[in-house]
């Protein structure tokens, strides 16, 4: 299943439900924008913990990226910033980790993605 890329004119990141992210996680770079302690307490398996500066430095603007946090608020702010910096395939997990857990998906604990 292909993910439709956001166009250059798009001013907002695209929202993903937990089920949509789960079905597409092999096509997306999942990034958790929370601090290290929150990440350590629990995150989506495979999610990397990166701040915006690292993303801007290390991730290409054509890379499909899904951002997450606990509730989806901080990741929505970070996603909007990435879109404004020219990132074209930015997605935000609607409801964040709480929605992921509510959908019954597993959470990984510790520092490893």
Q: Which residues are catalytic?
A: 69
Residue that the structure tokens 């510790």 belong to: 110
Cβ neighbours of 7 (radius 10 Å): 7
Q: Going by C-beta distance under 8 Å and a sequence separation of 6 or more, which residues neighbour residue 21? A: 28, 30, 44, 66, 68, 91, 93, 100
Phi-psi region of 83 (alpha: psi -120 to 50; beta: other; left: phi over 0): alpha
């Amino acid at each position: 299943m292909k993910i439709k890329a956001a166009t250059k004119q798009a001013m907002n990141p695209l929202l993903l439900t937990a089920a949509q992210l789960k079905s597409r996680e092999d096509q997306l770079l999942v990034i958790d924008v929370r601090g290290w302690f929150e990440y350590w307490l629990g995150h989506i398996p495979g999610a990397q913990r990166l701040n915006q500066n690292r993303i801007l430095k290390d991730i290409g603007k054509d890379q499909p990226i899904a951002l997450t946090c606990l509730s989806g608020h901080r990741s929505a702010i970070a996603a909007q910033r990435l879109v404004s910096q020219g990132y074209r395939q930015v997605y935000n997990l609607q409801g964040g980790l709480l929605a992921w857990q509510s959908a019954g998906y597993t959470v990984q604990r510790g520092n490893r993605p």
